[in-house]
Amino acid sequence: MIPVQGFSGQRVGVLGLGRSGLATARALTAGGATPVVWDDSPEARAKAEAEGFTPEDLRRDNVLTTLACVVTSPGIPHLYPAPHPVLLRAMQLGVPLDNDIGLFFRSLGQQDWAAYDTAPRVVAITGSNGKSTTTALIAHILAESGREVQMAGNIGRGVLDIDPPGDGGVVVLELSSYQTDLARALTPDVAVFTNLSPDHLDRHHGMGGYFAAKRRLFAEGGPDRAVVGVDETEGWFLADQLAMGPMDDRVIRVSSGQKLETFGWSVFARKGFLSEWRKGRQIASADLRDIAGLPGAHNHQNAAAAWAAARALGLGPRDIEAALHSFAGLPHRSQLIRTLNGVRFVNDSKATNTDSAAQALRAFPRIRWIAGGMGKEGGISSLAPDLGNIRKAYLIGHSARDFALQLGATPQEICETMDRAVTRAAAEAEPGDVVLLAPAAASFDQYPNFEKRGEHFAALVAALPDP
């Protein structure tokens, strides 16, 4: 646990008592503060009481005015589409707002760091797609290289739940826009921006607000090294804002598909080969084509970002390349479940929007595509250029018929359920085909989350009879 510093002897509100809220309450207690906890759900309040915390109604002014700060969970809106009433009233009363990420950065440094040979470091990753894979890949590279590493944030443990890092330890954080938008302290040593595509726009009042939330990770704390994906205009803009010129190697530009040979430091992947360039010359390279855990150009972008972050931490190219080959990938992200009679079954349930689905569709030939769920605004019309590899689509969930209309002449079948989609795709697949779950939609019509959707797909595939 990371005890929260700076609030000893003070009352601190905690709004939202899920995983991060309860972890925050514990860490506040460890740091000498008194957590004042509240959740709109009676069940969540009861769970907090079972841990020994006493809920107090934060909707009351006479409670809010006693607080030094209100710490809110990331899922609770503080601005758009409308702030939670407790947070709005806290702002009107002048009570500062923060989240567990802000508390983590203000509390991480410990007195015993002075005795360390190498101070611990923090790598923080944000972006629209690829955050989890990039985070896990960086942690994997560090672990394979013998470094002490902990993974936290949106993946792994809650940030305040981790152990204080030891001599030379590294903390690798995946941070969503919900987390970066509100944190009052953001001071990573290495910050990574993967890419940007439309998502969570209601929460950020459009693309400008969404990008601004991501940009805070770089603007607020000034990382020693910034790894910036430049495959979108926003990435070029961010890199330009951070660098003093093209040869400023504090900014490492990364790409999948573009040559970046004219900058102080860059890492890019083209046609399956990764190249690292510094000051006009190539200094390292790696062949990514046969790495099973990193299929497709989108994963090659993740590999380039992870390579750059690892190099910024002082790791050598040979150690990084070896670790790339032993990376198994993450569940629900281009995850190979099984090969049956020459047919690969791939679970990319995390592809909840069209941009991430497009990356999956580009990664494989001869696809039998399982798609559908709670479709997002615009449906799948933007995927029209990426349908060429699809042999047939098997459509499920609430948006199945809407998706069918947008697929046009692409062969398709409305299956409604995952069970029928897997059965039909497996029956029709031929050797060399890939049965790909890449829904391009949220899961909430049939599953509580994308993980459960992917687990159901994997279970159905595992149950298919051997030939």
**C-alpha distance across the termini of the chain, in Å:** 50
Query: Where is 176: in which H helix or E strand?
Result: none
Burial of 435 (0-12, 13-18, 19+ CB in 10 A): buried
Q: Is 449 annotated as a binding residue?
A: no
Query: What single string gives the DSSP state of each residue in 433-444?
Result: -EEEE--SSBST
d(CA 157, CA 19): 9
- Name the residue among 122, 170, 121, 115 with its Cα closest to residue 142: 170
Structure tokens at 68: 């030094």
Q: Is 129 annotated as a binding residue?
A: yes
Q: Is 392 annotated as a binding residue?
A: no
Structure tokens at 440: 């391009």
Catalytic residues: 131, 154, 200
- Name the residue among 197, 177, 71 with its Cα closest to residue 124: 177
Amino acid at site 462: A
* SS3 per residue for 122-139: EEEEECCCCHHHHHHHHH
What are the distances in angstroms from CA 330 to CA 194, 347, 439, 459? 17, 10, 17, 16
To which residue do tokens 């090969």 refer?
Answer: 339
Q: Is 94 annotated as a binding residue?
A: no
Question: Cα–Cα–Cα angle for 459, 465, 467, nearest 5°?
Answer: 140
Q: Is 8 annotated as a binding residue?
A: no
Burial of 18 (0-12, 13-18, 19+ CB in 10 A): middle
Q: Is 132 annotated as a binding residue?
A: yes
To which residue do tokens 């799948």 refer?
Answer: 380
Alpha helices in 52-129 (DSSP H): 61-64, 85-92, 100-107
User: How many CA atoms within 13 Å lie on the side-chain side of 282?
Assistant: 10
Structure tokens at 415: 């299956």
Q: Is 130 annotated as a binding residue?
A: yes
- Pairing state between β 190-193 and 170-174: unpaired
- Binding-site positions for ATP read 127-133
- Binding-site positions read 127-133
